[in-house]
Amino acid sequence: DSGLQEMLDNGPEVASSEQLHEKFLGEFNAFSLSLHGISAFYSGLERLIGHPQPDVFEGMLDEHTKKADAKAFFTSSNYGTHTCSAIEWYFVVDPESGLEILEIDSWPDDPKIAQLRESSSNDCKVARPRMPL
């Protein structure tokens, strides 16, 4: 295929760190990069964000369901889902009990996946019980 050969010949376009910074700052208004002194380097992340939770699962549970922004809604850029961290957590970790815990009737629908469902007989995404690691 000539399109594939053209891609191979031209190689991928690689963005610079400045371009990536501008992309995420402009699209998501997410963050601004800054430099700090050597003391910030040696004091580490713990000085900025506190000590990590030694139990990873409990730490993730706290971050997704108990922090001040756990029920702050956002719309995902990939599927257009209107959701929050707590909903995302229970959808993945405990879909059977999550609706009751969150006191909601159903999981948020993904508009793009709903379109795929309408155009095919394939179930694109369904909640399933978490498998043990």
Q: pLDDT digits over 7-36, tens only? A: 666 766 677 777 777 776 666 556 666 777
Domain assignment present for residue 115? The answer is yes
The per-residue pLDDT for 36 is: 78
Is the pLDDT higher at 100 or at 96?
100
Domain assignment present for residue 40? The answer is yes
Q: Which domain holds residue 54?
A: 2-119
The per-residue pLDDT for 70 is: 95
Domain assignment present for residue 132? The answer is no
Alpha-carbon Rg for the chain in angstroms: 21
Domain assignment present for residue 38? The answer is yes
Q: Quick one: pLDDT band at residue 110, thresholds 50, 70, 90?
A: confident
Domain assignment present for residue 131? The answer is no
Domain assignment present for residue 28? The answer is yes
Per-residue tokens: 89: 């957590």
Q: What is the 3-state secondary structure (H, E, C) of 23-68?
A: HHHHHHCCCCCCCCCHHHHHHHHHHHHCCCCCCHHHHHHHHHHCCC
Domain assignment present for residue 126? The answer is no
Distance of CA 101 to the CA centre of its chain: 21
Domain assignment present for residue 133? The answer is no
Is the confidence at residue 130, as pLDDT, over 80?
no
Q: How many distinct structural domains can be found in the chain? A: 1
CA dihedral 8, 13, 14, 18 (to 10 degrees): 180
Choose the most confident range, by mean pLDDT, from 1-10, 83-92, 104-113.
83-92
Q: Quick one: pLDDT band at residue 123, thresholds 50, 70, 90?
A: low
What is the rounded average pLDDT for all residues in the chain?
Answer: 81
pTM exceeds 0.85, yes or no: no
